[in-house]
Structure 1
Amino acid sequence: MGFFDFIGKVVFIALILFGILYFTNGLDFLSGKISLDPEAIRASPYVNKIVYDDIEIRQFTASVTKGCPSGDKECQLNKVFRHVVENYNYYSDPVGKELIQSPYETREVEGGDCEDFSILMNSMLESIGIKTYLVLTDDHAYSLACGIDPGKLRDYVEESIIEVYATDSEFSRDNDIVYDDGDIYIRETYNLDFVVDSFTTYYFGGDGSEITDPFLSEKLDYSITFSSPVDMYVVSGRGEYEKLAKSETFSAYSECTELGALSVDDECTIGTYGGIAISNDNLERVHVQMKLDVYMKYNPQEFLKDITITSYSINGASCVVLDGTSGKFGYPGLNPAELKGKKVAVDPKTKEIIYLE
């Protein structure tokens, strides 16, 4: 092989490599934003799909984060994350092909894989001024969102997780759940129709034991009618009722006591498994119709005790992990488990490579 033939082949191979880099990375390669680092080259097809300044993405993100206080990045981040995990399905790539979707395509398909979810979240967050990174491992992709206060974010995360368990979980399907302003109640409903004999008492309720975890309190919500005036009490349990029945001194919740009542429509919150006592001092029997809802307030810490907000410090900023494949019980900061290989964070704009851990 002659010298010029050798030089010609070298130039030919260089042109082929140049063409590959140019067509996969375009102007980023010419401007020097893409390095020849193998990790940077590997990441380029993904980061090149991230959109930064598209008005359609910005408008869509604004609608998703509506209701957040102005400039509240933690609220915005949580809402973007909840939108992705609650509205998109996981779809694997076609057999034998790496299909990388744009954020528009992921929205249209209403699903994708880990790279597609990360591209969508990064695009949405970047459109409202939240700095992001794309993280690649040997078998997974996820995002980082930077400039986030993990402590403040946790407040939003806890609120979201409580709501998910209260409204869309095995826990909520197995119980009659009432979710009220961040509080979870397990409800039991009773419709009673009975008679109280003259000069006797009646009791419906618990044994008076203290309420313990996972419950915090008991709320009795009742609507009762009586055919003749009676005295009605909410007592801490059967023990106090038995004192009443024996005409002994007993304790009752004074704010929930109704004397000479023909009807009662009220609620009473107590700290024991208590109930309702009725005393009939009339000469005739009294017909009683009672609708009673018993609400046991559930301790939400049962759902929150394992939450850990994972973040990394990058260039002085706290960057929180976002795994779009973690599902509706996932949350911003949930660290993906059992990842293979190095965790390589890529700045989508500068193509800077950062090795995590």
Structure 2
Amino acid sequence: MKHLIGSIFFGLILLFVFNTFIKKDEENKSIKMPPPEERINFSPRKIVGVPARFAAYERAVDPHLAEVRELALSLASDCGIDTECKVARIYRFVQEKVRYLSDPAEYELIQRPERTMALMAGDCEDLAILTASLLLSLDVQTELVAIPGHMYAMACGVDPKRLYDMVSAEYRDAGSGFSKTFTLQNGSKWYSSFREFRKRSSFRIEIESSADADVYLLPEREELDRFLRRENFTYMTYCSRENIRERTLTCDIEPGNYLAVTSDERSFVQVRIISEIKNRFDRIRVYNRNGVKCIPLDAAIKGEMVVPGMESENAELRDKSFIPLIR
């Protein structure tokens, strides 16, 4: 009898363990992870050198995929052997067309390039992997650059001056800047600051008004406050006009300046402020990697005023890893 009870008890334990295993297995199967991605634990530790964790990113770069090659060739169809043309076309496509999409909290999903192309979205690592894959498929020497919490691609063997000329032509009619339409009446006022620019920059300012309007470039906040209070104020004459309805001004503007518009009549006004292409090239960086000039391509930086060579503020960190890629 004791043996029988012991056998029954042991059998119940085995049945419980078996059911628990089956339930866990079904739960795991219900979690659908895209097959092209690798799922790794996220660690906030500092990155030093090129640790083994970057192997997954290297494996994800694939310039030999048919869809990658087809897209790269279509983007650079008229570039021939011009490396700078290839870099400009590939970067502009990823930076402008592929949106930024964060990973789930506490995990990093590493997408292969075909997955990012299918979604037309990914985080900084995914955009870097796609950029690198496209460039390598066009035989452009490429590396990945990693800093804590961020990654981007870098094109090497590039002539910065030729790239400047190429991007100047590519972006000339891109309309970088912003347009604002508003209504003024009975002496109401509108203004805009230039705080996002860190140094003196050149702008083209286009103004259209249905009635006479006054446009002033004010040197500082104190003068703006006087302008808004209808007191006497100081303005910069080279970029100010009164009683205009349509005018285009080209002005060098400091970060602390303000552009202000007013009218004594009811008027519909459109102001378009366009950053000259040279402003953006003041912010690019060139790396010398073993005697070869390289340009960072951070496609995760979004916006109309972004060009190849720009880096985020975090890229100033010295804790930076360079990951060479082989085609």
Which TM-score bucket, shorter chain as reference? 0.5 to 0.7
Structure-2 change in CA distance of 1:86 and 1:143 (3 Å): same
Q: How does 1:202-213 map to 2 (within 5 A)?
A: 213=250
Distance 2:181 2:296 in 1: 32
Give the equivalent residue in structure 2 for 1:89.
Answer: 99
1:40 maps to 2:51: yes
Structure-2 change in CA distance of 1:341 and 1:313 (3 Å): closer
Matching residue within 287, 312, 315 for 1:336? 312
8 Å CA contact 1:136, 1:345 repeated in 2:
yes
For structure 2, which runs of at least 5 residues remain unmatched after alignment? 1-47, 183-203, 211-242, 253-271
Structure-2 change in CA distance of 1:310 and 1:327 (3 Å): same
Matching residue within 118, 124, 129 for 2:134? 124
- Between 298-307 and 112-121, report the one with greater CA deviation: 298-307
Matching residue within 163, 182, 186 for 1:153? 163
- Look up the equivalent residue of 2:309 and give its one-letter code: G
In the TM superposition, what whole-angstrom CA distance separates every residue of 1:227-246 from its partner, at most 9, and x where no partner exists? xxxxxxxxxxxxxxxxxxxx
For the pair shown, the structure with the greater C-alpha radius of gyration is: 1
Distance 2:93 2:324 in 1: 23
Sequence identity percentage: 28
Give the equivalent residue in structure 2 for 1:349.
Answer: 326
8 Å CA contact 1:162, 1:300 repeated in 2:
no
Deviation of residue 189 (structure 1)? 9.3
8 Å CA contact 1:321, 1:334 repeated in 2:
yes
8 Å CA contact 2:205, 2:251 repeated in 1:
no
Count of equivalent residues: 209
Matching residue within 294, 301, 309 for 2:284? 309
In the TM superposition, what whole-angstrom CA distance separates every residue of 1:261-312 from its partner, at most 9, and x where no partner exists? xxxxxxxxxxxxxxxxxxxxxxxxxxxxxxxxxxxx9986376266333121
Distance 2:164 2:206 in 1: 25
Structure 1 counterpart SS, 2:118: helix
Give the equivalent residue in structure 1 for 2:233.
Answer: none
Give the equivalent residue in structure 1 for 2:87.
Answer: 77
Matching residue within 92, 99, 115 for 1:105? 115
1:141 maps to 2:138: no
- Between 316-325 and 113-122, report the one with greater CA deviation: 316-325
8 Å CA contact 2:88, 2:167 repeated in 1:
yes
Give the equivalent residue in structure 1 for 2:72.
Answer: 61
Structure 2 counterpart SS, 1:345: strand
Structure 1 counterpart SS, 2:60: coil
Matching residue within 276, 280, 298 for 1:323? 298
Deviation of residue 185 (structure 1)? 8.9
Two-structure CA RMSD over aligned residues (Å): 3.6
Distance 1:302 1:39 in 2: 36
- Between 119-128 and 86-95, report the one with greater CA deviation: 86-95
8 Å CA contact 1:214, 1:298 repeated in 2:
no
Length-normalised TM-score, structure 1:
0.51
Matching residue within 63, 67, 78 for 1:52? 63
